[in-house]
Amino acid sequence: MKRAIVVGSGAGGATAAKELQGAFHVTVIEAGKDFHPFTLNLRRLSRLKKTGLFFDAREIQILFPHMRIRKATGGMILVNGVGLGGTTTLCTANALRMDRELQNLGIDLDQEFEEIGREIPISSDHLRRWTRTTHRLFDICREMGMEPSPTPKMGNYDNCRGCGRCVLGCPRGVKWDSRRFLDEALGKGASLIKNSFVDRVDIVGGEAKGVWTRYRGKKRFIPADLVVLAAGGMGSPVILQNSGVSCRPGLFVDPVLCVAAEWKGSGQNREISMPFMVRKQDYMLSPYFDHLSFFFNRRWKFPAQDILSLMIKLADSSQGSVSEKKVDKRLSSQDAATLEEAVGVCREILMRLGIKEDDVFMGTTNAGHPGGVFPLTEKEAQTLHHSALPENLYVADASLLPKSLGGPPILTIVALAKRVGRVCIERMAG
């Protein structure tokens, strides 16, 4: 049986591994370790923050090693998960199909999305777990003609206990993450290598021969007949560049900014993250308690249970780049204008709730959906394979997306990875 290497165990990697195992013998290589939810007492940390010890968002990596924080050259904070499951373990499990731009290229993923619906439990039936304030925010958005809708979630929320730790790793396993698919692949015979960084793909004579990895300073070559890169929107580009494949300076990151105010007893810090959403052309809005801003932004000085926040998730322009040493990302003038417009909408929602405009404060701009530096075009609509790559080297993550989604990408990445797996089997497994 031919050997396949899948780099990464997030949404794209775990899906590709599940699809490929059986037609290939798959080895998944993950840079991180086993994932464990954040278990420290948040109330004690809240008291500790008053000492001023928390002043840089990157400190969270000391408390929670599975969350990697870095700063782009423009100052924006970038967040991603490190460990089995990638960033899916830290996401809010939103299940939105967001493939319009792919459809415009002629890429039809209907079959893949239908399969996902059978494999992953998806439901919007969590309204009974909303706080009274969230119900009121939903009504205000509806009164403003914004057409809010409950957010479809991946997982079984009957077991949700309202701990508010969705983005810190669900302690009860309520929300779905890609480790479920990884376990399926391993159950069918796939192999897993943890704590191992892939530096580059060894390309000889226009063919991928395998990958070079690092573990505790030691280098190792692992041969393969097929290599699928799914190390994420900032990981795969670096591997490609180290392998001699150029990437587009077109990074998007879906920036997030929270608009907040004191609202005593709101209890948002113990609620399902992003319970409903409002979708606009270039951004989306959703109630969201921002732990990053709460611990590291001095304007978030009120008790966690008394802070009410609305998230803006921006569909930013593809202006940025990724290299091994740095990430260059700044908001364009158009991005800034759209963000200002969205802030105005959030202010109006909060004022209709009863909050004074002068009492509104901003969160810390951060981002967790990088992609777009190796985008698909109409030429790749059928194969999902770039001509710049060897025939046996594929990409299966957000790097393929042609532009920012301005919303949750996981479901779309899973669909893309399913198609990539299917294409690899059709073209190579024989």
- Could you read off the pLDDT of 146-172 as tens digits, one per residue? 999 999 999 999 888 889 999 999 999
What is residue 252's DSSP assignment?
B
Flag whether pLDDT at 27 surpasses 90.
Answer: yes
* CA distance linking residue 403 with residue 425, whole number of Å: 27
Q: How confident is the model at residue 267 (pLDDT cuts 50, 70, 90)?
A: very high
For residue 53, the model assigns a pLDDT of 62
Q: Say if residue 264 is exposed, middle or buried (CB neighbours under 10 Å; 0-12, 13-18, 19+).
A: exposed
The CATH architecture of the domain made up of 123-168+255-320+329-367 is: 2-Layer Sandwich (3.30)
pLDDT above 70: residue 52: no
| Start-end of CATH 3.30.310.50 domains in the chain | 123-168+255-320+329-367
Q: Which residue has the higher pLDDT, 368 or 268?
A: 268
**What average pLDDT does this structure show over 84-104?**
96
Torsion of CA 126, 127, 131, 137, to 10 degrees: 130
Residue 430 predicted with pLDDT over 90:
no
Beta bridge mates, 191 = 27
73 CB contacts (<8 Å, ≥6 apart)? 326, 327, 328, 329, 330
- Smallest Cα–Cα separation from 342: which of 305, 374, 314? 314
Beta bridge partners of 192: 28
Provide the percentage of residues in the chain whose pLDDT is more than 90.
87
> For 367-376, what is the mean pLDDT?
95
Amino acid letter, residue 332: S
Q: Residue 416's pLDDT band (boundaries 50, 70, 90)?
A: very high
- % of the chain surpassing 70 pLDDT: 98
Burial 220-237 (b: 16+ CB within 10 A, else e): eebebbbbbbbbbbbbbb
Q: What is the pLDDT of residue 76?
A: 92
**Position 345 pLDDT exceeds 70:** yes
The string of pLDDT tens digits covering residues 190-209 is 999 999 999 999 999 999 99
pLDDT band at residue 177 using 50, 70 and 90 as cut-offs: very high
419 has a pLDDT exceeding 80: yes
pLDDT mean over 179-185: 98
Structure tokens at 9: 């165990």
* Mean pLDDT score, 384-413: 97
Q: Looking at residue 309, what is its pLDDT? A: 98
Flag whether pLDDT at 317 surpasses 70.
yes
What is the mean pLDDT of the segment spanning 302-317?
97
Distance CA 427, CA 422 (A): 9
- Residue 278: CB partners within 8 Å, gap ≥ 6? 141, 146, 147, 148, 284, 285, 286
Residue-level pLDDT at 46: 81
3-34+177-249+372-429: CATH number: 3.50.50.60
Under 8 Å between Cβ of 29 and 239:
no
**Average pLDDT of the chain?**
94
Residues sharing a CB contact under 8 Å with residue 186, sequence separation 6 or more, in sequence order? 192
Mean per-residue pLDDT, 226-234:
97
List, by residue range, all CATH 3.50.50.60 domains of the chain.
3-34+177-249+372-429
Identity (one letter) of the amino acid at 395? Answer: V
pTM: 0.96
Q: State the pLDDT at residue 194.
A: 96
* Confidence at residue 231, expressed as pLDDT on a 0 to 100 scale: 97
